[in-house]
Chain A
Amino acid sequence: QSALTQPASVSGFPGQSITISCTGSSSDVGGYDYVSWNQQHPGKAPKLIIFDVNKRPSGVSDRFSGSKSGNTASLTISGLQTEDEADYYCSSFTSSITLVFGGGTKLTVL
Chain B
Amino acid sequence: QLQLQESGPGLVKPSETLSLNCVVLGGSMSSTHPYWGWIRQPPGKGLEWIATISYVGHTYYNPSLRSRATISRDTSMSHFSLRLSSVTVADTAVYYCADLGIVGRDFQEWGQGTLVTVSS
Contacts and interface: CB of A to CB of B under 8 A. Distances in A.
B74 interface: no
Interface stretch (B9-17, B20-28, B84-92, B103-111): B103-111
A99 B105 contact: yes
Interface string A86-108: 00010101001111111110000
B46 A1 contact: no
A38 B113 CA distance: 15
A3 B118 CA distance: 24
Nearest to B101: A51
Nearest to B61: A98
B2 interface: no
A48 interface: yes
A68 to B, nearest CB: 14
User: Which of B61, B106, B111, B112 has the most chain A CB atoms inside 10 A of its CB?
Assistant: B106
Interface string B47-66: 11100100000001111100
B36 interface: no
A104 B61 CA distance: 21
Interface residues of A, number: 25
A89 B39 CA distance: 13
A57 B46 contact: no
B46 A100 contact: no
B96 interface: yes
**Which of B49, B61, B63, B64 has the most chain A CB atoms inside 10 A of its CB?**
B49
A84 B52 CA distance: 29
B62 A98 contact: yes
A105 B113 CA distance: 20
Contacts of A48: 106-110
Contacts of A96: 63
B49 A99 contact: yes
Interface of B: 37, 46-49, 52, 60-64, 96, 103, 105-113
13 contacts: A1-B64, A46-B96, A48-B107, A52-B105, A52-B106, A89-B47, A91-B47, A97-B60, A98-B61, A99-B37, A101-B47, A102-B46, A104-B47
